[in-house]
Amino acid sequence: MARILVVDDERPICDLLVRGLSRDGHQVVAETDPTKVLGMNLTCFDLLLCDVMMPGVDGFELVRQIRARVDAPIVFLTARVGEDDAVTGLGLGADDYLRKPFGMAELRAKVNAHLRREGRERHSSLSFGRIRLDLSARQLLVDDDPVPLTPTEYAICELLARSPGQVFGREQIRERVMGWGSGAGSDDVSVHVSNARAKLRRVGVEPIGTVWGMGYRWQG
């Protein structure tokens, strides 16, 4: 399963891409405001799909500003048909260029081809200020000191931290971290989150936020 960021100011297109790519098991985050992407932690994504013609910050300018922070393939989606536009986009660091209107089968094939070429864990760690998650050692550190989380507590933190700002319900967390056959319930997730928070709070950080009635999110 890959983590994909879709940036397009048209909500119907975002919804279409989320539905289509989710069929392949990918976790898809959609953003219609390109200016918000500038402030996002982009290291958790395996691939970016980016429209070109957007208000405020167009796709070319967005990629120009974020390319140095993104160690992942970037594919432009655009209605522009000129060869010069394709050259410009690729010159800014994009890996591919797909013109609208496109077929979903073609897009899914292109996305999966890029992900296969990557074929590896792109980042050995995720960093959020004082907090760092060592993905290889499966360890969370604050100021480079390890926090004694249980494997389940760490797995929940990693799940949330890979998609900062995204809300995960307790059932989602249970499925992703423990699996449906574990026998654990959604109340168990709350206990694990509470225990992890207490340990993190003792070292002066509170990265896990609650969205009442919905679930939890990583707020860095």
Asked if pLDDT for residue 24 goes beyond 60, the answer is yes
pLDDT number for residue 98: 84
pLDDT number for residue 182: 46
pLDDT number for residue 82: 65
Asked if pLDDT for residue 181 goes beyond 50, the answer is no
Query: Which pTM was predicted?
Result: 0.55
Domain regions of the chain by residue span:
3-118, 125-218
pLDDT number for residue 185: 67
Average pLDDT over every residue of 188-217: 93
pLDDT tens-digit readout, 41-96: 888 899 999 999 998 899 999 998 988 788 788 898 887 656 677 677 777 777 88
The whole-angstrom separation of Cα 218 and Cα 29 is 14
pLDDT number for residue 120: 46
One fold for both 3-118 and 125-218? no
Helix (H, G, I), strand (E, B) or coil at 201: helix
The whole-angstrom separation of Cα 105 and Cα 96 is 16
CA angle 160, 164, 170 (to 5 degrees): 35
Provide CATH code, domain 3-118: 3.40.50.2300
Asked if pLDDT for residue 216 goes beyond 70, the answer is yes
pLDDT number for residue 123: 54
pLDDT tens-digit readout, 120-171: 445 578 889 999 999 888 899 999 999 999 878 898 999 999 889 999 999 9
Quick count: other Cβ atoms within 10 Å of Cβ 62? Answer: 23
User: Cβ(165)–Cβ(217) under 8 Å?
Assistant: yes
Does the domain at 125-218 match CATH 1.10.10.10? Answer given as yes
Both structure tokens of 125: 């760690």
The whole-angstrom separation of Cα 103 and Cα 13 is 12
User: Which residue from 16, 13, 52 is spatially nearest to 34, judged by alpha carbons?
Assistant: 52
Query: What secondary structure does DSSP assign to 46-74, as a single string?
Result: SEEEEESS-SSS-HHHHHHHHGGG--S-E
Average pLDDT over every residue of 3-17: 94
The residues facing 5 across adjacent strands are 29, 48
